[in-house]
Chains A and B, each alone.
Chain A
Amino acid sequence: DQQVKQNSPSLSVQEGRISILNCDYTNSMFDYFLWYKKYPAEGPTFLISISSIKDKNEDGRFTVFLNKSAKHLSLHIVPSQPGDSAVYFCAASEYNGGNQFYFGTGTSLTVIP
């Protein structure tokens, strides 16, 4: 009953190219979405978020796209750098659901120099 799904456990990309990480969700009540980045032996750190009133949010090399009708979001990293190699978690929450986040299983990104 995973409400947030990341179907690609891993992704490899050449340095300088675009990385696209995908996330699907099942709960139509979710209205706030986040991406977290995790390095080995560290806790996840917040990367970027988007609310359901938008379909795109950009922060430097990172852009998150939201397609509410498809219940799908994606994270684009352009250009990819070796330091971006990490595990990326997608998370979602409901406005009226308190501050509980539902996380996906993560996608391990490797950027090859």
Chain B
Amino acid sequence: DAGVIQSPRHEVTEMGQEVTLRCKPISGHNSLFWYRQTMMRGLELLIYFNNNVPIDDSGMPEDRFSAKMPNASFSTLKIQPSEPRDSAVYFCASSFTDGGTQHFGDGTRLSIL
């Protein structure tokens, strides 16, 4: 079975550029989560969707961050414009809405120069 698929695995770009991270959840899962991993805050929830609808985006750090889920099998996290402090590993996870464990992708390592 395919797990959560994230792309790209690595992204290096210059400050001010737009960055788009992509996620394909596990088929049948109807909840999708975007996390950022940092040393200081561990796994920090940015936003999550239930049935393609954003439920809680209070973790999105600034207006420069936006996320969409146009259908059940695809989501994007966009940063525009990007800044060096956005450098981190970004994870996508999916689960069933009625509970259960979250399954994570292998992450996107983002470096903003």
Partner of B104 from the list A44, A99, A104 (CB cut-off 8 Å) is A44
- Cβ–Cβ contact A42 & B39, under 8 A: no
Central interface residue in A44, A89, A103, by most chain B CB within 10 Å: A44
- Number of B residues, CB within 8 Å of A: 30
In the complex, chain B residues whose CB is within 8 Å of the CB of A102: 45
In the complex, chain A residues whose CB is within 8 Å of the CB of B48: 100
Closest to B44 in A: A103
In the complex, chain B residues whose CB is within 8 Å of the CB of A104: 42
Interface size class of A (residues with CB under 8 A): 20 to 34
- Cβ–Cβ contact A98 & B50, under 8 A: yes
Contact with A along B25-46 (1 / 0, CB 8 A): 0000001010100011111110
Q: Which 6 A-B pairs have the closest CB atoms?
A: A43-B104, A105-B42, A103-B43, A46-B101, A43-B106, A44-B104
5 contacts between A and B (CB under 8 A): A46-B102, A49-B101, A99-B31, A99-B99, A99-B100
Interface residues of B (CB under 8 A from A): 4, 31, 33, 35, 39-45, 48, 50, 55-56, 91, 93, 95-107
